[in-house]
């Protein structure tokens, strides 16, 4: 072939591969921290304003039965990356685990197949990200004000401003400079709405006019639930007046915490003006007993919802960026939290439990041309499914050892039936005193085995007891369903190859 002909072959190959690259969808996954589905407009909350998240739901799908494999920050992110349960990806708890970045992840697959990939924001996996084209992460939990970022060369840079805005700025900067001939996958990891719920200065007091209704089981007595009785995560006893609710009694106490210590004079002045007034009001009220607990509940929700405001505003910004750059049509957008969160149910904040509020996560997804706007999905899906779903959408093969399943066949209706049951395993046994636990959830029942801290089984009929208050395990009339659920649980343990749980199944509860 003469040179000119070679040139034309090469040219047409280049055109085809660019066209292929552009056809493959871009992906943005926005992962917040500890954002409860109860605190989202699209999920039916009439008091909170979340137009950004609601827009994704309106233009795509709201998942009403999205769950996590292990309700904690690091374990959830490790599951999202690998499509595997904690016992397979090695990140079981925040205390001892370090993510082994040399293992396969969906990001690595995408990078190797021509995607530009990035993770910006909260990471919390102890080791540095591997396999990304770019990353900029918060150290550990990160800070709300003027946060530090670890850069790819290991240097630490301090940014000025409020963390949710900065993470979005950095995400947009990365999108601005990317190679537009290639598809991208960007993970935006938000710090909000993690404890201790520091709103942006412009959002302070945003929800002060609202009195939030107490959940019906706020004064739970934990009767029949041994593990619930020994936890340390109540708004009453665990949530602190100073650190959590900013009711410092003196300057020294206030200066002690990272989030206040780092503020600029103007940020600090806005913060002090707002909280000093509340401190004075509280002093004048001289509350105690139930009145004080309920005051704490109101303050918790006001700070939490105000922190949601900046998170959501920046989600809107991501969507506007896509609009402005004509990327909306060819970009999958997923918003999810790393787990759910208690908003006073059982008297609690925090997560960890296989109980609904923490096991379930909010998840909305927009995928133009594939998902019908405004649809609601009620299949059992999990954070475990994100990795295979994205690989599937990118037209790539899902590795056989990934334990999740692509959601696309369900969403495209080529497959009618999703999971019949879900498996859960939580390991951490320190802060908040939540007992390690594993279990199964079916359409109607939930069976949980607690171990290490508390040795017990719990069974709930979710049709008649949505808030999981009545443990039916061992009660007359439930023998057959318990035996059936134990068999199903054993089958799932075998399927996912969880040898630790398999061994525990053989041990009788004392």
**Burial letters 257-292, b for 16+ CB under 10 A, else e:** bebbebbeeebbebbbebbeebbeebeeeeeeeeee
Residue 200 interacts with ligand SGN (CB under 6 A)? no
- Cβ 348 to ligand SGN shortest distance, Å: 11
Under the binding rule (CB under 6 A), the answer on residue 33 touching ligand SGN is yes
Spatial separation of the C-alpha atoms in residues 407 and 424, rounded to whole Å: 19
311 binds Ca ion, rule: CB under 5 A: no
Lookup: tokens for 216: 């019906």
The sign one gets for the Cα dihedral 225, 77, 422, 491 is negative
Distance between the two ends of the chain, CA-based, in angstroms? Answer: 81
Stretch of 37-45, 49-57, 188-196, 359-367 contacting ligand SGN, by CB under 6 A: 188-196
Measured from the CB atom, is 361 or 406 closer to ligand SGN?
361
The dihedral sign for the CA sequence 168, 173, 179, 181: positive
Residue 96 makes contact with ligand SGN by CB under 6 A = no
Are 441 and 504 in contact by the 8 Å Cβ rule? The answer is no
97 binds ligand SGN (CB under 6 A): no
**Among 453, 233, 470, which Cα is nearest to 358's?**
233
- The residue assigned the tokens 């069974």 is 459
Closest approach of ligand SGN to the CB of residue 70, in Å: 10
The nearest distance, CB 308 to Ca ion, in angstroms, is 14
Q: Does 431 bind ligand SGN (CB under 6 A)?
A: yes
Report cis status (omega within 30 of 0) of the bond before 193: yes
Q: Residue 183 has what DSSP assignment?
A: -
Q: Is 428 in the site for Ca ion (CB under 5 A)?
A: no
Identify whether the C-beta of residue 118 lies closer than 8 Å to the C-beta of residue 187: yes
Q: Binding to ligand SGN by residue 434, rule CB under 6 A?
A: no
Q: In sequence order, what E strands does 89-248 have?
A: 116-121, 134-137, 148-150, 156-158, 184-189
Q: Segment 211-250, which members bind ligand SGN (CB under 6 A)?
A: none
**Smallest distance from Ca ion to CB 338, Å:** 4
Q: Which stretch binds ligand SGN (CB under 6 A): 191-199, 306-314, 362-370, 379-387?
A: 191-199
In the list 62, 194, 246, 419, the residue contacting ligand SGN (rule: CB under 6 A) is: 194
Could you say whether residue 196 binds Ca ion (CB under 5 A)?
Answer: no
CB 238 to ligand SGN: min, Å: 8
Q: Does 350 bind Ca ion (CB under 5 A)?
A: no
Query: Whose Cβ is closer to ligand SGN: residue 10's or residue 431's?
Result: 431
* Residue ranges binding Ca ion (CB under 5 A): 33-34, 73, 338
**What residues make contact with ligand SGN under the rule CB under 6 A?**
33-34, 72-73, 94, 124, 141, 194-196, 350, 431-432
């Amino acid at each position: 072939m003469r040179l000119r002909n070679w040139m034309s072959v090469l040219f047409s190959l280049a055109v085809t591969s660019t066209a292929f690259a552009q056809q493959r969808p871009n992906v943005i996954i926005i992962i917040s921290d500890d954002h409860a589905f109860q605190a989202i407009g699209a999920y039916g909350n009439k008091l909170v304003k979340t137009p950004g998240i609601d827009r994704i739901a309106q233009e795509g799908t709201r998942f009403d039965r999205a769950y996590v494999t292990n309700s904690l920050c690091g374990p959830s992110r490790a599951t999202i990356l690998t499509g595997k349960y904690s016992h397979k990806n090695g990140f079981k708890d925040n205390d001892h685990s370090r993510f082994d970045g040399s293992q396969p992840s969906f990001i690595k697959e995408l990078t190797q197949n021509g995607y530009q990939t990035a993770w910006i924001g909260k990471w919390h996996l102890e080791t540095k990200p591997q396999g990304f084209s770019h990353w900029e992460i918060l150290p550990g939990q990160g800070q709300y004000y003027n946060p530090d970022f670890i850069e790819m060369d290991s240097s630490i840079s301090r940014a000025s401003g409020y963390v949710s805005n900065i993470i979005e700025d950095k995400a947009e900067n990365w999108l601005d400079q990317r190679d537009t001939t290639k598809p991208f996958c960007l993970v935006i990891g938000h710090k909000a709405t993690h404890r201790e719920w520091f709103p942006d200065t412009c959002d302070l007091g945003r929800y002060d006019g609202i009195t939030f209704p107490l959940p019906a089981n706020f004064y739970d007595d934990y009767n029949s639930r041994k593990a619930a009785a020994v936890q340390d995560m109540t708004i009453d006893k665990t949530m602190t007046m100073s650190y959590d609710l900013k009711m410092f009694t003196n300057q020294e106490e206030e200066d002690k915490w990272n989030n206040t210590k780092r503020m600029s004079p103007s940020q600090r002045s806005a913060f002090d003006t707002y909280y000093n007034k509340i401190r004075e009001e509280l002093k004048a009220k001289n509350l105690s007993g139930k009145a004080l607990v309920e005051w704490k509940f109101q303050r918790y929700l006001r700070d939490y919802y105000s922190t949601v405001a900046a998170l959501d505003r920046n989600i809107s910004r991501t969507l506007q960026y896509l609009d402005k750059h004509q990327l909306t049509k060819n970009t999958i957008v997923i918003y999810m939290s790393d787990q759910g969160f208690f908003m006073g149910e059982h008297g609690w904040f925090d997560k960890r439990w296989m109980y609904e509020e923490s096991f379930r996560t909010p998840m909305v997804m927009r995928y133009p041309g594939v998902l019908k706007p405004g649809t609601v999905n009620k299949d059992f899906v999990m954070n475990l499914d994100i990795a295979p779903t994205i690989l599937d959408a990118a037209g790539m093969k899902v590795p056989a050892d990934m334990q999740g399943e692509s959601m696309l066949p369900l969403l495209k209706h080529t497959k009618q039936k999703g999971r019949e049951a879900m498996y859960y395993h939580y390991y951490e046994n320190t802060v908040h005193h939540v007992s390690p636990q594993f279990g199964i959830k079916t359409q109607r029942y939930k069976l949980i085995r607690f171990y290490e801290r508390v040795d017990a089984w719990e069974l709930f009929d979710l049709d008649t007891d949505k808030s999981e208050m009545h443990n039916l395990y061992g009660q007359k009339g439930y023998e057959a369903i318990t035996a059936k659920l134990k068999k199903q649980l054993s089958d799932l343990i075998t399927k996912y190859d969880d040898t630790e749980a398999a061994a525990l199944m053989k041990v009788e509860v004392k």
